[in-house]
């Protein structure tokens, strides 16, 4: 189900949106909707990735007297 939303743009932005929509052979409304959907998906993907990362168990980096080198951490696949 689609909803109507009114937005206000300055003339320069509105002109750009019309040109970009025309290049894609679509309406400004559909173009703006697709931009917002893409942004929403990016944000949701980031939030899912962050939640998954935060859910990981912590990994002890210091197992002996010294911290591992950056190279050693990445070779072992540690965070």
Q: What is the pLDDT of residue 76?
A: 60
Question: What backbone phi and psi angles, to 5 degrees, belong to 67?
Answer: -75, 150
Confidence of residue 21 (pLDDT cuts 50, 70, 90): very high
What is the residue extent of each domain of the chain?
11-76
Q: Is the pLDDT reported for residue 45 higher than 60?
A: yes
Looking at residue 71, its pLDDT comes to: 83
DSSP state of 68: P
Kindly state the tokens that stand for 51.
């939640």
53-70 residue pLDDT tens: 999 988 777 777 888 788
**Predicted confidence (pLDDT) per residue in 3-18, tens digit:** 999 999 999 999 999 9
Closest alpha carbon to 28 in 36, 18, 40: 18
């Amino acid at each position: 189900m689609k909803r109507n939303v009114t937005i206000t743009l300055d003339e320069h932005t509105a002109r750009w949106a019309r040109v970009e929509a025309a290049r894609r052979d679509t309406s400004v409304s559909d173009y703006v909707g697709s931009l917002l959907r893409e942004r929403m998906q990016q944000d949701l993907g980031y939030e899912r990735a962050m939640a998954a990362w935060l859910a990981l168990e912590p990994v002890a980096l210091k197992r002996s007297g010294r911290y591992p080198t950056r190279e050693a951490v990445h070779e072992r696949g540690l965070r």
